Amino acid sequence: MDKVLLIIQREYLSRVRKKAFLITVFLVPALLLGMYAVMYLLYKNSSEMNTVHVVKVLDDSGVFAGKLHDKTSLKFKSLNEPLTSAKKGLKKNQDEIILLIPKNYEDPKAVQVLSENKPSISTANEIERQMNEIATNNKMVAAGIDTAKLKSISSDISISARQVTEEGEKDSNIGALYGIGVAGAIMIYLSLFIYGAQVMRGVIEEKTNRIIEVIVSSVKPFQLMLGKIIGVALVSLTQFILWIILSLAVSYIASKHFNAPQSPLLGLIEGLKGVPVGNIVAYFLFYFLTGFLLYSALFAAVGSAVDSETETQQFMFPITMPLLFTYIISVSFLAQNPDSTLGFWLSVIPFTAPVAMMVRVPFGVPDWQLYLSMGLMIVGFIFTTWVASRIYRVGILMYGKKASYSELAKWFFYKE
Amino acid sequence: MLSIRNIVKQYAGHTALSGVSLEVTGGQIFGLLGPNGAGKTSLIRIINQITAPDSGEVYFGGEKLNQSHIGRIGYMPEERGLYKKMAIGEQIVYLARLKGLSHAEATRRIKYWFEKLEIESWWEKKVEELSKGMQQKAQFVATVLHEPDLIILDEPFSGFDPVNAELIKNEILELNQKGATILFSTHRMESVEELCNSIALIHQSHKILDGRVKDIRNSYRNNTYLIEYSGNRLEFNGSEPFEVLGDSATDEGRLLRLQLNATTSVNDVLQYLIPQVSVSRLQEIIPSVNEIFIQKVNQKS
């Protein structure tokens, strides 16, 4: 056991110390920070949205005066000074806007807005909207239509999807659930590949370096394989945890410094209300870990059977197929039909469960299906590890022999 | 020290070892000889517990070979290798710890060896920065660091330049004098005669010869002698007490190769020759291990 720990330690440290690891760890929060910065700049650009604009209204028509109502960023005042001095005042006060409404306000381009800076689209839109509403209202009144009655007639329907669960009804934001499910599936799919390939490359490296023979004279091949798989698993967990911590830190710093009230993370959290995020993270870690153990054992067996990375193609196909297949089905079909029969089967078969279950979990999965799936995952990875280790122990000592599937089968049945 | 009894190892399609038995007594330098593909590496892997035999047993120091012996064996495989991207010092510490040494002890011993081989400056170097010969020196240190009782070296001198080969040879001899048993496989016969007390010859999965080098060579003596003489060319008519294998001229005089008859001795030969010519050299031709090796292998096939 001590030896496995030593191997885990080496596998872990040799990867974590690599520059590539540090770069990827910091790249994701850096991208996030960049995203915040871009949002902040966009937000600064449209700062009119938040700074209060004073609109001085000169209403020659007399239709609008007093009817324009204030918004958080728009205050309406009537212009009570000569236009020329008011125009001069614009230079001093950049947040001031002068709204000129002539008598023929319905003519194209008749209504004018004067300001030092070009007013933002949202400001212009808001003024336009209010003026249209007032004008329409006036016309309705003139035409003898009861505006109060009209308001009560017009309908504004929005669907609120509610899920019936044992705890009672709860809000379900289908869009957010879909997003989370697909994002989780993609994350699992990619990380299984990336870290599984790392295990495979490690095995090939030891084999081509011929250090394997020195090591297996000290430890059993199974110990080496296990140590490598666990080592890489810890690397990946370190990466995920650092990403989460750094992303939170970056979000915190960004919210302090950029003073952005609409942080995308906060927005996301708002959207996730009612979704059991803690549960989903826990399931993600479980399915990633068991899925990783299951697939990386197979990757290790492939690595042991070849002499170089270019030869891995023929064996990679059957390993990547179930993952790719589930991924495509999950994103296109399962996310829309999470409770279908296909969804059930895909999420209990260990080879496809990590990806398929991630799509289903946000929508809620019956407990018995979850337990079945998780139990099968554990059985599955123990099984593949056993199969893989039997191929691995022979493969690592075979040089210069192009292995075929029948060869692998023979290796499997070798005695010690 | 090491007793190998009736080892059989079969791979799909061919037999690597069929009923091989060997005795390696403690303190020996034992040479394992054989042409390529004879089964040497298979045997070495079994001793290292990398693979297990189909049948037969290996005893190490009187006990049946088991995992507890791993720390007492040091193994340098023929195809050597180290992690390319890992610093040399750290790497040897790792390999030594896998053999059961503590971190501190491994570090202390590596310092000793690096000073001895004058490679102290390598500690932080990565393997990929070293030449092949340098890598082998580092690997040798990794092999012997845990002071194994049995050191197994597969083709230890291949890849070394003559200076470094000599250096490693002396280190092997020194370790042997300190009590380590050495088992090495090679096809370099001159090193066998120089170093080995005993040898075993494996050919096509069978052991075809083993024993002390001296005994083996003696058993292949066939009463052949070489005589250098000067004077007139000898005339042979069949009455001489030996059989003539060859008689040729050299710069110094003439060389006569002869084989004794069943009843005659070297003295009879001298008595026959001395009246006729002046003898400047007489030497028994004992076949070299190399010749025995080739002869045995050819006989078999």
Chain A residue with CA closest to B95: the answer is A215
pLDDT of residue A172: 54
* Neighbouring residues of A205: CB distance < 8 A, sequence distance ≥ 6: B83, B84
Helices (H), A46-95: 83-92
Whats the size of chain A, residue-wise? Answer: 416
pLDDT of residue A243: 85
Take residue A86 and report the two structure tokens written for it: 């008011």
Q: Do A399 and B79 touch (CB under 8 A)?
A: yes
Q: Do A209 and B48 touch (CB under 8 A)?
A: no
Greatest mean pLDDT range, A256-270, B32-46, B287-301: B32-46
The partner residues of A341 in beta bridges, in order of sequence, read: none
Q: Do A214 and B75 touch (CB under 8 A)?
A: yes
Q: How far is B194 from chain A (nearest CA, A)?
A: 27
Q: How far is B163 from chain A (nearest CA, A)?
A: 25
Q: What percent of chain A has pLDDT over 90?
A: 22
Mean pLDDT computed over every residue of chain A: 82
Which amino acid is located at B194 in the chain?
E
In whole angstroms, what is the distance from residue A145 CA to residue A142 CA?
A: 8
Q: Do A415 and B52 touch (CB under 8 A)?
A: yes
Q: Is the pLDDT of residue A169 over 70?
A: no
Residues of B within 8 A of A219 (CB-CB) are: 98
Contact A263, A251 (CB under 8 A): yes
The DSSP-derived string for B24-76 is: E-TT-EEEEE--TTSSHHHHHHHHTTSS--SEEEEEETTEEP-GGGGGGEEEE
- Among A14, A218, A415, select the one facing B98 at the smallest CB separation: A218
Q: Do A211 and B12 touch (CB under 8 A)?
A: no
Q: pLDDT band at A250, cuts 50/70/90?
A: confident
Q: Is the dihedral of CA A269, A272, A277, A283 positive or negative?
A: negative
Q: What percent of chain B has pLDDT over 70?
A: 99
Q: pLDDT band at A364, cuts 50/70/90?
A: confident
User: Minimum mean pLDDT among B216-220, B231-235, B273-277: which range?
Assistant: B231-235
Q: How far is A398 from chain B (nearest CA, A)?
A: 11
Q: How far is B132 from chain A (nearest CA, A)?
A: 12
B228 class by beta-carbon count within 10 Å (0-12 exposed, 13-18 middle, 19+ buried): middle
In whole angstroms, what is the distance from residue A166 CA to residue B297 CA?
A: 83
Q: Do B86 and A14 touch (CB under 8 A)?
A: yes
Buried-exposed string A69-108: b where 16+ CB fall within 10 A, e elsewhere: eeeebbebeeeeeeeeebeeebeeeebbbbbbbeeebeee
pLDDT of residue B94: 93
Contact A292, A233 (CB under 8 A): yes
ipTM of the complex: 0.79
Q: Do A209 and B82 touch (CB under 8 A)?
A: yes
Residues of B within 8 A of A211 (CB-CB) are: 81-83
* Angstrom distances, CA of residue B203 to CA of A227, A363, B38, B300: 38, 68, 5, 8
CB count, 10 Å around CB of B132?
A: 10
> Which pTM does this prediction carry?
0.75
Q: Do B51 and A214 touch (CB under 8 A)?
A: no
Q: Is the pLDDT of residue A74 over 60?
A: yes
pLDDT of residue A61: 80
pLDDT of residue A294: 93
Q: Do B99 and A209 touch (CB under 8 A)?
A: no
User: Minimum mean pLDDT among A85-99, A372-386, B280-294: which range?
Assistant: A85-99
The C-alpha R_g of chain B, in whole angstroms, comes to 24
Helices (H), A72-173: 83-92, 121-143, 147-153
Take residue A352 and report the two structure tokens written for it: 């496809």
Q: Do A415 and B54 touch (CB under 8 A)?
A: yes
Closest CA to B196 of B98, B209, B206: B209
User: Minimum mean pLDDT among A14-18, A398-402, B72-76, B157-161: which range?
Assistant: A398-402
Q: Do A217 and B97 touch (CB under 8 A)?
A: no
Contact B205, B8 (CB under 8 A): no
Chain A interface residues facing chain B, Cβ-Cβ under 8 Å?
3, 6-7, 10, 14, 205-206, 208-219, 397, 399, 410, 414-416
Between B87 and A332, name the one with better pLDDT: B87
- Pairing label, strands B150-154, B73-76: parallel
Q: How far is B22 from chain A (nearest CA, A)?
A: 21
Region B150-166 average pLDDT? 85
- Among A209, A213, A415, select the one facing B83 at the smallest CB separation: A209
Between A404 and A372, name the one with better pLDDT: A372
| Best A211, A220, A414 residue to mutate vs chain B (most B CBs within 10 Å) | A211
pLDDT of residue A270: 57
Q: Do B84 and A209 touch (CB under 8 A)?
A: yes
Chain A residue with CA closest to B68: the answer is A218
| Best B51, B57, B80, B151 residue to mutate vs chain A (most A CBs within 10 Å) | B51
3-state percent breakdown (helix, strand, coil) of chain B, nearest 5: 35, 30, 35
Region B49-70 average pLDDT? 88
Chain B interface residues facing chain A, Cβ-Cβ under 8 Å?
12, 45, 48-52, 54, 70, 73, 75-77, 79-86, 94-95, 97-99, 139, 142-143
Q: pLDDT band at A168, cuts 50/70/90?
A: very low
Q: Do B75 and A210 touch (CB under 8 A)?
A: no
Q: Is residue A54 within a helix (H) or strand (E), and if so which, with residue range?
A: strand A53-59
In whole angstroms, what is the distance from residue A183 CA to residue A358 CA?
A: 9
Residues of B within 8 A of A14 (CB-CB) are: 83, 85-86
Residues of A within 8 A of B80 (CB-CB) are: 210
Q: Is the pLDDT of residue A44 over 80?
A: no
CB count, 10 Å around CB of B246?
A: 9
Q: Is the pLDDT of residue A130 over 60?
A: yes
Residues of B within 8 A of A400 (CB-CB) are: none
Q: Is residue B281 within a helix (H) or strand (E), and if so which, with residue range?
A: strand B278-284
User: Minimum mean pLDDT among A14-23, A46-55, B169-178: which range?
Assistant: A46-55
pLDDT of residue A183: 84
pLDDT of residue A9: 94
Chain A residue with CA closest to B96: the answer is A218
Take residue B69 and report the two structure tokens written for it: 């012996």
In whole angstroms, what is the distance from residue A353 CA to residue A321 CA?
A: 14
DSSP secondary structure code for residue A307 in this structure: S
Closest CA to A197 of A298, A324, A74, A323: A298
Domains along the sequence of chain A with CATH = 2-40+175-413 (no CATH), 52-148 (3.40.190.10)
Contact B40, B185 (CB under 8 A): yes
Contact A101, A80 (CB under 8 A): no
Q: Do B50 and A215 touch (CB under 8 A)?
A: no
Which residue shows structure tokens 């929005």? A158
* Neighbouring residues of B281: CB distance < 8 A, sequence distance ≥ 6: B226, B227, B228
In whole angstroms, what is the distance from residue B198 CA to residue A161 CA?
A: 87
Q: Do A213 and B98 touch (CB under 8 A)?
A: no
Query: Does residue B159 come out as left (phi exceeding 0), alpha (psi in the -120 to 50 range) or beta?
Result: left
- Among A213, A218, A415, select the one facing B70 at the smallest CB separation: A218
Q: Is the pLDDT of residue A52 over 90?
A: no
B84 class by beta-carbon count within 10 Å (0-12 exposed, 13-18 middle, 19+ buried): middle
Residues of B within 8 A of A206 (CB-CB) are: 81, 83
Q: Helix crossing, A174-209 with A264-272: angle to 10°?
A: 110
pLDDT of residue B106: 93
Q: What percent of chain A has pLDDT over 70?
A: 87
CB count, 10 Å around CB of A340?
A: 13
Helices (H), A144-173: 147-153
Residues of A within 8 A of B51 (CB-CB) are: 397, 416
DSSP secondary structure code for residue B286 in this structure: P
Q: Do B85 and A399 touch (CB under 8 A)?
A: no
Whats the size of chain B, residue-wise? Answer: 301
pLDDT of residue A258: 65
Residues of A within 8 A of B50 (CB-CB) are: 213, 216-217, 397
Interface size A-B, in CB pairs within 8 Å, comes to 65
Contact B108, A20 (CB under 8 A): no
Q: How far is B252 from chain A (nearest CA, A)?
A: 53
DSSP-based three-state secondary structure for A208: helix
Q: Do A214 and B142 touch (CB under 8 A)?
A: yes
Q: Is the pLDDT of residue A185 over 60?
A: yes
pLDDT of residue A47: 55
Residue B156's Cβ-side half-sphere holds a number of Cα atoms within 13 Å equal to 35
In whole angstroms, what is the distance from residue B264 CA to residue A91 CA?
A: 134
Residues of A within 8 A of B142 (CB-CB) are: 214
pLDDT of residue A164: 59
Take residue A115 and report the two structure tokens written for it: 């300001």
Residues of B within 8 A of A10 (CB-CB) are: 94
Q: Is residue B245 within a helix (H) or strand (E), and if so which, with residue range?
A: strand B242-249
Q: Do B79 and A10 touch (CB under 8 A)?
A: no
Helices (H), B145-212: 162-177, 189-195
Region A257-261 average pLDDT? 59
Chain B residue with CA closest to A9: the answer is B94
pLDDT digits (tens, 9 = 90+) for A262-297: 545 455 555 555 667 778 888 888 999 999 999 999
Closest CA to B192 of B241, B155, B223, B229: B155
The DSSP-derived string for A337-367 is: -TTSHHHHHHHHSTTTHHHHHHHHGGG---H
